[in-house]
Structure 1
Amino acid sequence: MKLSSLFRPMDLLVGSVNAVVVISWSLVQWELRVEDTQGLNEDLGWIMMAVSVVVLFFRSAFPLAVTLVILAATLVYYPASSTDGPMLSAFVISLYTLAALGRLVAASVIAASTFVIIVVSEVIANFAHMTQSETLMLGGWIVAVPAIGAVVAHHRRYRAETLVALEETRRRSVAEERIRIARDLHDAVGHHLSLINVQTAAALRKLRKDPAYRTEEVLEIVAETTRLSLRELRAMVGVLREAGEDPPTGPGPSLDQLPSLADAARASGLEVELRVDGSTEPPAAVDAAAYRVVQEALTNVLRHARASRVHVTVVIGTSTLALAVVDDGKGDAKGANLAGNGLTGMRERAEGLGGTFNAGPREDGGFAVEAAWPLEVPK
């Protein structure tokens, strides 16, 4: 066992103070010949005092053993010595330590046993050393010591549990933030990359058929899509900046950006019909979540549906925001449910704000994504 685990700073301080008080007080009484009754063995009394003073330094490392040793030394000291010094202080400190370290049962048993020993010994001696009231008062204080230690132990345990709970909350918050960033990266950057992929693939097909095909328009669309992707990427990475750095600039995702989103999809050859009804301004969280759902739904249409037309409808009421993205695709509906396509993220964005989400193939063909949010965001 390391020396630091045997001698803790507080144990050294308490042990030193106790040693100075007990020894100096006892020496003063001895020199002044302040004696209660004749002791049975003075040398043995001084030895027991030395034992109790020394072992108290180990009170935290061996609380039960120290308490028992000091109790035994105290029980031997008082009959052996004619000097009635503050020898009992070491026992009180060790008993308190035992209870404060969580050994409440052991501390209670020792305190009760000590109380019985004190009362019985004084009754047998016909209260020669203390009056009846002093005996009961001393016994009561000894019984109260474990209770005080138990209160301290409970406070320490509560504080430790609180720190663990706070740490767990912090870790959970970090994990949730990582999931949110990953979802945003998937929805935003993944959408733009899908558009770039569709545009460049179409341009390559046309170039193979017609080497004279001019790609300026396609390159302009790719450049604009890349610019939007980089802007959103910088905004999301901005949350990882060190404290004190400037926050990211630029507007966050919003339903106001749906026209640009629809134009980008149209540039990929998809016929997009966009309709937004309602003038109520939704909460920022709902606004961003609704935009991301539409964005990811259009990405799925471009990647999986083999659709020629898609209808995007957003209705903002007084208490609810609802949207639907419906396509006429002929692709495999199962592909829209594969891991990585963003349906899980869309559902999380809806249900995480108290909303609902549904997605699946339609009876007359195509695929539909529907989501709704209350405008009062749950806290």
Structure 2
Amino acid sequence: MLHRFSISRMDLLVGVVNAVIVLSWTSAQWVMRIQDTQGLNESLSWAMLFVSVAVLFYRSRFPLTVTLATMVCTIVYYPASSTDGPMLLAFVIALYTLAALGHLVAAGVIAAVVFLTVVISEVLSDFAHMTESETIMLGGWIIAVPAIGAVVAHYRRYRAETAVALAETQLRSVAEERLRIARELHDAVGHHLSLINVQTAAALRKLRKDPLYRTEETLQVIADTSQLSLRELRAMVGVLREPGEDSPTGPGPSLEQLPSLVAAARASGLEVELRVDGSAALPVAVDAAAYRVVQESLTNVLRHAKAKRVQVKVVTGTSTLAVAVIDDGLGDPKGAKAGNGLTGMRERAESLGGTFTAGPRDDGGFSVEATWPLEVDR
């Protein structure tokens, strides 16, 4: 139970400083017989002084209670004591703390009550204890203290909200980065593994039919594809290990690599027609996204469509890049709607302000079309 009443370091420091100032100042006045007016009850005044000094040590844990206690002690002390010391300091600190911790309504009400008490009592006593200017100055300080505390409270709230917003932004960035890495792995490594799977399955079928079938050409295609897959995987791992601008990331995916991509698809037995119209300096993000869309589309054709022919079109206009992959396969590739392929392609297009459509064609087959604006961050 004792830990509930522990004193923080800041409260301890403030309490000690207040105690030293109030007790030493008041004791010095008492010893030197410096008196303001005859007090009503000296014993009561000293009791109120010690109580206000003691309770201030718990100002942060019980801000409202400490403020009310110091207010009562202050109101009782000055009429009861003949020594006009800085006993008011404990109440000022407690009132500021109450406002700074966000209890603005309570701090305002207490400040108003004390202000009215001081002003009315002095007016009724014809300013026997303070002059008019001193009364106005004291009242101004009583109002200013919770106002300063309110500013501090608003600043603390702003910092807390900023910290929360920053944490949410960081979490969102991490999620987006994980999604980007998942897309890259799916599109790059997944494509090469699909080619290897198709080549291996085709070679096994031919070996079952003809045990003397020579597999050197197929194995060479598999070796080249796996080497390319390992190269892309190493590049991605390198980026993850050294996430700086000067990290050796190697050449990124680009439409300039389409000929080698088409050649790998042709080696799998697919008849691929590549048509490129127009040219322009493409933003890096658009260039990479367009390549990945074509790559994933060819992967889906090889894995699901059972197509014989596929046409790849790349058209670069004055303000738009468009790609299309059209095959003569089943028209509704198995898993195309439920898998990650089409979802990833749509995200690659729409995240850069582009469009994406995919679906069966009326005359058979399946088509994938995507467009991007050329005016994006490079």
Which TM-score band applies after superposition, normalised by the shorter structure? over 0.9
Q: 2:25 aligned with 1:15, yes or no?
A: no
Relative to the length of structure 1, the TM-score reads: 0.96
**Residue of structure 2 equivalent to 1:339:** 338
After superposition, where does 1:66-85 map in structure 2 within 5 Å? 66-85=66-85
Aligned counterparts, 1:292-307, within 5 A: 292-307=292-307
Pick closer, same or farther for the CA change 1:285–1:243 going to 2, 3 Å: closer
Other structure's SS at 2:334 match: helix
Written as runs of structure 1 = structure 2, the 5 A alignment for 1:196-207 is 196-207=196-207
Name the CA shift for 1:264/1:243 in 2 (closer, same or farther; >3 Å). Answer: closer
- Distance of aligned partners of 1:46 and 1:149 in 2 relative to their CA distance in 1, 3 Å threshold: same
Take 1:249 and 1:17, find their aligned partners in 2: how far apart are those partners? 59
Aligned residues: 378
Trace 1:54-203 onto structure 2 (pairs within 5 A): 54-203=54-203
Report the more deviating stretch, 3-12 or 27-36. 3-12
What is the correspondence of 1:253-292 to structure 2 with a 5 Å cutoff? Answer: 253-292=253-292
Counterpart-to-counterpart distance in 2, 1:270 and 1:4: 76
SS at structure 2 position matched to 1:335: coil
- CA deviation profile, 1:152-196 (whole Å, cap 9, x unmatched): 000000011001101110010000000010011111111111100
Distance 2:340 2:20 in 1: 75
Shift in Å, 1:347: 0.4
Give the Cα–Cα distance (whole angstroms) in 2 for the partners of residues 343 and 131 of structure 1.
Answer: 83
Q: How far is the alpha carbon of 1:237 from its aligned partner? A: 2.2
Specify every segment of 5 or more residues in structure 1 that has no aligned partner in the other structure, as ranges: none
1:341 offset after TM fit, Å? 4.6
Q: Which deviates the most, 121-130 or 162-171?
A: 121-130
Distance (Å, rounded) in 1 between the aligned partners of 2:371 and 2:243: 36
CA distance change for structure 1 residues 104 and 275 in 2, over 3 Å: closer, same or farther? same
* Cα offset, 1:316, TM superposition: 1.4
Q: Is the 1:35–1:84 contact (alpha carbons within 8 Å) kept by the matching residues of 2?
A: yes
* Counterparts in 2 of 1:305 and 1:23: CA distance versus 1, 3 Å: same
- Contact persistence 2:99–2:153 (CA under 8 A): yes
- Contact 1:304/1:332 (8 A) holds in 2: no
Moved more, 117-126 or 52-61: 117-126
In the alignment, what sits opposite 1:355?
Answer: 354
How far off is 1:335 after superposition? 2.2
Which sections of structure 2, spanning at least 5 residues, go unmatched?
none
SS in 2 for 1:322: strand
CA RMSD of aligned residues (A): 1.7
Q: What residue identity is the alignment partner of 1:108? A: G
Deviations 1:297-332 (A, max 9, x none): 000111111100000010112211111111111x25
Letter in 2 for 1:12: L
Deviation at 1:46, TM superposition (A): 1.1
In 1, the alpha carbon distance for the partners of 2:336 and 2:245 equals 40
- Give CA deviations for 1:210-257 in whole Å, capped at 9, x if unaligned: 111111111110011101111111122223215679834431100011
Percent identity, aligned pairs only? 75
- When normalised by structure 2's length, the TM-score is 0.97
Distance 1:2 1:221 in 2: 75
Q: Which amino acid aligns with 1:370?
A: E
Shift of 1:3: 3.8
Structure 1 residue 32, shift from structure 2 partner:
1.3
C-alpha contact 1:271 1:309 (8 A) present in aligned 2: yes
Whole-Å Cα distance in 2 between the matches of residues 146 and 250 of structure 1? 60
For 1:358 and 1:64, locate their aligned partners in 2 and report how far apart those are by CA, in whole Å: 63
Alpha-carbon shift at residue 77 of structure 1 (Å) = 0.8
